[in-house]
């Protein structure tokens, strides 16, 4: 059956025979066919997503959803026991279709699978992480650390992006192995700008103050001079300062 015939079938009033046939047709429907059918009638998309959650892995179908995206998302999260690869595809489609408003709920619903899927997308896009993604991930420093430690082949840019999310939680993640952050700090010395290096150095220093394993003195050796000099010259950003502020003594205002 061609896509034009399917389009007519979807537009028609379905009888008992149609109720029997339609699920089989949907089960074998390609993404391209789904796009052709729903281009003019996006109201069919939620039903298709409920019947075939894997269709939600298509960014194009999410874009066709227009102002029905919330309905599409509800159709997807209502499915039980989606496998990791489908969740991975759905999160990628949300990011590719600029539907990041659903990332937080995705994490609440799918947990580790959603977090790892978002970070895999960031890794495949040269470390690009939007503010919406960062905010969605901000309450999951432990899962972010799991990803960093398990994805040893991830790009420096993506690990730096993760650093910007976990650094404010330095105390919480301080029992984790800090070698990855030391390595990344050294790796980006020739590519990162001064503000980025200041931020990473502040992160290393905060971890050192928390006695992060295996060798906190190495963290101090790499970071202290830079952070001290930047602070002395009043060029340490508020974002970088906020990382070390909880760990340093507070001076009176005239000092």
Report phi then psi at 79, rounded to 5. Answer: -80, 140
> Tell me, what's the pLDDT at 252?
61
More confident of the two residues 36 and 53:
53
* pLDDT at residue 19 greater than cutoff 60: no
Is the pTM value of this prediction over 0.85?
yes
52 close to 79: Cβ distance less than 8 angstroms? no
| pLDDT band, very low/low/confident/very high, at 2 (cuts 50, 70, 90) | very low
Contacts of 250 (CB under 8 A, 6+ apart): none
* pLDDT at residue 253 greater than cutoff 70: no
pLDDT tens digits along 141-181: 999 999 999 998 999 999 999 999 999 999 999 999 999 99
Angle, alpha carbons 83-96-143 (nearest 5°): 50
pLDDT > 70 in the chain, percent: 87
Q: Report the distance separating Cα 209 and Cα 219, nearest Å.
A: 9
pLDDT > 90 in the chain, percent: 73
69 close to 102: Cβ distance less than 8 angstroms? yes
Neighbours of 80 (CB within 10 A): 6
Contacts of 153 (CB under 8 A, 6+ apart): none
| pLDDT band, very low/low/confident/very high, at 36 (cuts 50, 70, 90) | confident
Mean pLDDT throughout 104-110? 97
pLDDT tens digits along 159-169: 999 999 999 99
Q: Give start and end residues of each alpha helix (H) in the chain.
A: 3-11, 16-27, 31-38, 45-51, 59-64, 69-77, 84-96, 103-110, 112-124, 131-137, 141-150, 156-166, 179-187, 194-209, 216-232, 238-244
* pLDDT at residue 216 greater than cutoff 90: yes
Least confident of 25-34, 52-61, 119-128, 135-144: 25-34
């Amino acid at each position: 059956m061609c896509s034009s015939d399917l389009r007519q079938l979807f537009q028609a009033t379905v009888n008992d025979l149609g109720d029997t046939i339609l699920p089989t047709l949907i089960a074998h429907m390609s993404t391209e066919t789904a796009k052709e059918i729903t281009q003019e009638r996006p109201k069919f998309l939620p039903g298709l997503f409920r019947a075939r959650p894997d269709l939600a892995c298509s960014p194009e179908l999410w874009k066709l959803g227009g102002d029905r995206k919330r309905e599409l998302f509800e159709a997807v999260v209502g499915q039980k026991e989606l496998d990791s690869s489908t969740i991975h595809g759905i999160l990628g489609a949300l990011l590719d279709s600029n539907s990041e408003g659903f990332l937080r709920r995705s994490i609440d619903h799918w947990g580790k699978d959603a977090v790892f899927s978002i970070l895999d997308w960031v890794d495949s896009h040269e470390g690009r992480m939007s503010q919406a993604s960062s905010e969605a991930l901000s309450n999951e420093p432990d899962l972010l650390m799991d990803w960093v430690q398990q994805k040893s082949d991830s790009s420096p840019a993506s690990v730096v992006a993760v650093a910007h999310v976990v650094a404010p939680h330095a105390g919480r993640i301080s029992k984790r192995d800090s070698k990855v952050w030391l390595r990344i700090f050294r790796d980006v010395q020739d590519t990162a700008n001064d503000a980025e290096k200041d931020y990473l150095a502040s992160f290393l220093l905060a971890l050192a103050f928390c006695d992060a394993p295996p060798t906190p003195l190495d963290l101090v050796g790499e970071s202290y001079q830079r952070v001290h000099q930047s602070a002395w010259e009043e060029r340490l950003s508020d974002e970088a300062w906020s990382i070390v502020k909880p760990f340093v003594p507070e001076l009176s205002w005239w000092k």
